[in-house]
Every structure is written in C-alpha cells, then in structure tokens.
Amino acid sequence: MIYIFPVSVSDAHLIDPFCDAIKHLGGMDGRKCLVIGDRRSGDHVDFLASRLKIMGATVEKDVFAFECAEGWPQACNRYFYKAASLAMERHEPFFYLELDHTPIRSGWQDMVESEYRSGVAQGLDFMGRLAPHTENRMGAWVQSGSVMNGSGVYPANFIERSTLIQEISRIGVPWDIHLRWEMINQCKDASDFMVFNWHSTNYRWENGIFTCDINQRPGGIVHSGKSDPIQPRHYLVHGCKDGSLAKMIVAGEIDAPTVIAEEFANPAPIEAETDLELQGGQEVSRLAHTQKIVGSIPTPATKPKRSPKAKKRRKMKLSEAERARRVEHAKRMTTAREAKKNKIVSIAA
C-alpha cells in the first residue's frame, strides 16, 4: 500500500501538527509514501516529504506542472485524478490521506492495512467511511444509495476500471459523490476505526467537556444534524481544519483511546447530500453533511493531568536540522500570506 499525501497552499498550515501527531504515535516505520502537490505547492511538498522521511518513511514526490487554483471541489478532483494515475503506475493500492486527518492511536497504519487486506479477501477493494446519501430532485429529498468518504483506500487500477473518473476534473461535484456508484458496492466500511467530523476546529476541554466547533456553512455548504462520537475503537479522525486535535494528542491532553462523545440529541447517521440545480446552464452541487459539535464525555470536571511520559515528550528538544526546516517553512508561509495580502490591496486600489 502507498500512502498518498496531497498538499496545497490552502492546507499547508496543517503539515506540522499532522506530522507531530504521527511522530508522537510512532512514525511511519518504513511505509511507502508519495507526496503530491500543484506547481504553487512545491515548497510545501518538499517540507512534508522531509518530515515523513525523518519519521522513517520511504518517500517519493510529484509536483504537478500545472496549478489547481479552481478551489473546492474542482481543484480537489484534479488532485485525486493525479493521485489515482500515479498509483496505477506503481501497481499498488493507495490510501488517499488528506492533511485534515488526525491519527489518535498508535498502530493506526497496521489497522488500516490489516482491515484493507480483510476487505480484499472478501472482494471489497475500496475502504472508507460509508454514509447514506440523499439528493434534492425537483424539490424533494430522496435516498440515493451511499457515499464513501473520499479520504480512503482505493485499488491500484481504479483509474483503469472507472468509466466516470475522466470527468471529475471538469465538473463541480466532489469526486466521492460523482464516483460513488463505482465504489460503494465494493467498499469495506471503515466506520469501526475512522471518524468523520467534517470542518471541525478548536478541539478543547471546556468545563470538563471535550468539545470542538463545527463550521455550519463552509464555502456555502449546508450542515445539519450530528457528527459521529469518537470512541475507544477509533484510530483516525478526519476533518480537523486547524490542527488543534493533533496538538492535544501530542501534548498528552488526550490519552487515546478516549471516549470523546457519548450523548447526542439526534441519533440519525451522517448524510451526505447533493442539491442538483441548473443555474446559468451549469450543474451546481451542494454537499450537505450532517454535523454537530462533538459533545460531552463522562469525565471529571477537571482537565486531565499529563502523564510524566507526555511531559517528557513535550520537553524534548528539536534537532537543529528539524528546527531549521520548521523556521524556513514558517518564513515561506509568512511570505506567501504577505504576497496575497499585497495583491488584494493593489486590486482594491
């Protein structure tokens, strides 16, 4: 299996917390990794690749000759198409691991790989979190099968088998929605060890409750309902957009596995919804995931104390080379932000 890490200018701020969590939980232990990005993201690709290599991964890089500046979902679709192409060239299944994933338990790679092998033995060579899917057809919401969350595991020959994948770079529908019928009947559900808390931020302890915030309308996307609770059986959480969950793992503020949520007012499952309309002759997709803040757990009202082992980890000094890499990456990020700000000011003037 190849672990493919897509990185772009919009999520490069997650590289450090993402890698810090992986390092804290044992590193990559010889796994094959491929870091990909568009022409604007070359420096970020190099930085992520260097951090993965330090953690024991065998790393390749691929920087596209083109830019993906269309935003969600077209840019994401182009990234995925490129990833599927590169996996087919290497003849290996691939875990498309986006940077808003957070590993929360050691052994997460072993879990992913063993579960995928189990699925393949049953004729299921896709693996990801499955959720019900509904569509708005002529003003009525109707059930339309299921959808596999796109950050999952795919067969090596997916791009060759698919009859729809050639279209995803040109359409305004997320690839996991557009390709769902080619995947769901051969998909092993990963809900037992993966959680999808989409567009979650600011994970924290608050009055003895472990909670987070959910952006209700990211990019105009509608949310309603609830997210899944994080439970002791889970190894990966997908959707944290600010690195706050990873920082808590590294700081020892959450001794995973921890039951992070137990009670919800609405027990309905997450539903991924697509609202298909015609506006100016264009098909518009609006993906609506049912989400809610993470909720409460049965813990004392005090913030849990860090173990001596966790305190020791936090006090460990970075090597000079690692410190230099982080400083250089921070400088590049600052320069990019300033350039973007100056461009906006000049346009306004």
Q: What is the pLDDT of residues 167-211, one digit of tens each?
A: 998 888 999 999 999 999 999 999 999 988 888 898 888 887 777
> What was the pLDDT predicted at 260?
44
Inform me whether the pLDDT recorded for 67 exceeds 70. Answer: yes
**What pLDDT score does 255 carry?**
61
For 116-130, write each residue's pLDDT tens digit. Answer: 999 999 999 999 999
Is 20 a residue whose pLDDT tops 80? Answer: yes
Q: Which of 66-70, 276-280, 327-331 reaches the highest mean pLDDT?
A: 66-70
- pLDDT mean over 322-329: 76
Q: How far is CA 344 from CA 236, 338, 339, 347, in A?
A: 37, 10, 9, 5
Q: What is the pLDDT of residue 121?
A: 98
What pLDDT is attached to residue 157? Answer: 97
Q: What is the mean pLDDT of residues 83-112?
A: 97
Give pLDDT, residue 341.
62
Residue 47 above 70 pLDDT?
A: yes
pTM (two decimals): 0.75
Mean pLDDT of 68-91: 94
pLDDT of 306 reads: 52
- pLDDT-based confidence at 8, cuts 50/70/90? very high
Closest CA to 247 of 128, 142, 104: 104
* pLDDT for residue 138: 82
Ranked by mean pLDDT, the top range of 53-67, 201-215, 282-296, 321-335 is: 53-67
Question: Angle at which helices 42-54 and 320-348 pack, to 10 degrees?
Answer: 160
pLDDT beyond 70 at 219? no
The pLDDT confidence band at residue 279, using thresholds 50, 70 and 90, is very low
Question: Has residue 144 got a pLDDT over 60?
Answer: yes
- Identify the CA nearest to 2 among candidates 89, 116, 124, 87: 87
In order of 32, 165, 191, 195, the CA distances from 237 in angstroms are 21, 26, 10, 5
